Amino acid sequence: MAKEIVAGTTSINAPIGPKRKAKMSLMARREELTGWLMAGPWIIGFLLWTAGPFGAAAYLAFTDYDILSTAQYTGLENFRVMLFQDELFWVAMRVTTVYALVSIPLQIGLGLFLAILLNSRIRGLAWLRTLYYLPTILSGVAVSFLWVWVFSADWGVLNYVLSLVGIQGPSWLTSQDWALSALVIMSLWSVGAGLVIYLAGLQGVPTELYEAAELDGAGRWRKFWSITLPLISPVILFQLIIGIIGALQTFTQGYVMTEGGPNNATLFFLLYLWRNAFKFLNMGYASALAWAIFAYILVLTLIVLRLSESWVFYTGEIKGRR
């Protein structure tokens, strides 16, 4: 099944030329070996320190484990409680999903837009790019302090700016209705994080293509739509999947800024999980929660990967069409 899902996402499903077919068995075997060897470090590493902990986390989901004493097997109890008894599980799922639905498109759209602007031929490019990248570098504590002030109802920058256009801003972080929106806005501040990746992608588009298109009379929008977008679509796919994995595992903002409140308005799933694990010492239940969000993210990612066949363009396919 993995093969079908991943099929559209690599460039090496292109038809093979006649010369290759003849030598296939020997070359294919060598390629197979090289493939394993080159992927080897990752596989070894996986077995060394990922597989074990994953297995442990899987086992713990079926136990009652408070970290300080032995785990007690309890079967499906954790999952039963999680799905049928725990209201906060659904609250956390809802909050996290809403956050992801809003912030991912914004991040990708805005990030790409910004990267294109910062890829144009203007002066002071290095300075501007550094400026937009800075928010990603700042450490959590300092940032959270700043944002409490920015979102302050009476004195904050945001409400001040809104008041200039005649809007009276809400009390953001301390309001049940607006706290999540405040965190979405906050996440936009570090939209420059994806900048590095988009820029790298944009660099990979051969300038000859643009020149050729211009000679054919293509306008800017046409160039963007027919050249830029397709050629950086693998990168956009990357951002989308990473975005899903990241947004559904948002933690720091909820942890530092709002502690999940007010009234669970910002109860991110990972915050809820962390609490169960390290605050309430319900590591068994937390493991069950972990697998729930894992399944959620995995299903979404597989869907995205499958659908990506239709819009992601891999340069390798050029050869096939000629």
Partner 1 sequence: MSPNTTRRALSSVNLAQRIEKGFIYLILLSGGLLILVPLWWMISTSLKRPAEVFTFPPTFLPETLRWQNYVDIFEKAPFGRYFLNTTYVVFMDMIGTLLSASMVGFAFARLRWRGRDAFFVLTLATMMLPGAVTLIPRYLIFKELHWLDTFLPLWVPSFFGYPFFIFLMRQFYATIPYELDDAARIDGCSDFGVWWRINLPLTLPALAACGIFTFNATWNDFLGPLIYLSSQNKLTLALGLMAFRGPHVTDFHYLMAASTIAMLPVVVLFFFAQKYFIQGIVFTGVKG
Partner 2 sequence: MEFQQNGHGNLSRRRFLTLAASLAGTAVLASCAPAAPGTTGNAPAEAKTEISFAWWTGGEGANKLFEQSIDHFEEKYPNYTVNRISMPYAEFGTKLLTMYGSGNAPDAHGIPYGTVWSWAHKGVLMDLTSLVESDDSIDWEGMWPAVTGACYYQAKIVALPRESFGLRLYVYNKTIFDEAEVETLDKDMATDNWTWQVWREKAKALTKFSADGRREIMGANVGAGYWDLQVVMSSYGVPMFNEDLTHFNLDDPKVVGWLSMLPEMLNEDLSLGKPDETKEFDWGASGKQAISQSATWAIPNMRETWTDIDWDFVPAPKGDCCHSNFVGCDYHVVNGSDYAKKDAGWEMIKFINSPEEDLWWALNFFGAPFRKSNLDAWQSQLNNIVPKDGWQYMLDMTETATPWTPIPFQDELDTIHNNEIGQALSGERPVEEVVMSITTKVDKMIANFK
Query: Using CB under 8 A, which of the segments 72-80, 93-101, 173-181, 274-282 binds partner 1?
Result: 274-282
Cα 305 from Cα 6, distance rounded (Å) = 7
Which residue(s) pair with 73 in the sheet? 63
Which of 18, 22, 26, 53 binds partner 1 (CB under 8 A)? It is: 53
Q: Does residue 42 belong to the site contacting partner 1 (CB under 8 A)?
A: yes
Which CB, 6 or 263, lies closer to partner 1?
6
Report yes or no: 275 and 255 within 8 Å, Cβ to Cβ: no
| Minimum separation from the CB atom of position 260 to partner 2 (A) | 7
Q: How far is the CB of 64 from partner 2 (least distance, A)?
A: 9
Query: What span, in angstroms and rounded, lies between the C-alpha atoms of 299 and 211?
Result: 41
| Residue 74 binds which of partner 1, partner 2, none (CB < 5-8 A, kind-dependent) | none
Amino acid at 293: I
The answer to whether residue 196 forms part of the interface with partner 1 (CB under 8 A) is yes
Tell me how far apart the alpha carbons of residues 77 and 75 are, in angstroms, rounded to a whole number. 6
Q: Cα–Cα distance between 65 and 56 in angstroms, integer? A: 12
DSSP category for residue 222: H
Q: Residue for token digits 């910004």?
A: 114
Q: Which two three-digit tokens encode residue 155? A: 């004195």
Range in contact with partner 1 (rule: CB under 8 A) among 88-96, 100-108, 110-118, 166-174: 110-118
204 touches which of partner 2, partner 1, none (CB within 5 to 8 A by kind)? partner 1
DSSP conformational letter for 132? H
72 binds partner 1 (CB under 8 A): no
- What length is written for the chain? 322
Tokens read off for 88? 């906060």
Query: Which of 34, 226 has the CB closer to partner 2?
Result: 34
Dump the DSSP string for 227-260.
IIHHHHHHHHHHHHHHHHHHHTT--HHIIIIITT
Contact set with partner 2 (CB under 8 A): 29, 32-33, 36, 43-44, 47-48, 51-53, 55-56, 59-60, 63, 65-71, 145, 148-149, 151-156, 171-176, 259-264, 275, 278-281
Collapse the DSSP code of 216 into the 3-class scheme (helix H, G, I; strand E, B; otherwise coil) and give the result. coil
Determine if 280 is a binding residue for partner 1 (CB under 8 A).
no
97 binds partner 1 (CB under 8 A): no
Give the Cα separation of 188 and 196 in Å (integer): 15
Interface pattern 149-188 for partner 1 (x via CB under 8 A): xx----x-x-------------------------------
Q: Report the nearest approach of partner 1 to the CB of residue 118 (Å).
A: 7
Q: With CB cut-offs between 5 and 8 Å by kind, which of partner 1, partner 2, none does residue 172 bind?
A: partner 2
Name 211's Cβ contacts closer than 8 Å, sequence gap at least 6: none
Single out the residue of 18, 87, 208, 310 in contact with partner 1 (rule: CB under 8 A): 208
Phi-psi region of 260 (alpha: psi -120 to 50; beta: other; left: phi over 0): left
134 near partner 1, judged by CB under 8 A: yes
Sign of CA dihedral 260, 263, 266, 271: positive
98 binds, among partner 1, partner 2, none (CB under 5 to 8 A by kind): none
Q: Which residue among 153, 229, 241, 281 contacts partner 1 (CB under 8 A)?
A: 241
Q: Which does 21 bind (CB under 5 to 8 A by kind): partner 1, partner 2, none?
A: none
Which partner, partner 1, partner 2, none, binds residue 237 by CB below 5 to 8 Å per kind?
A: partner 1
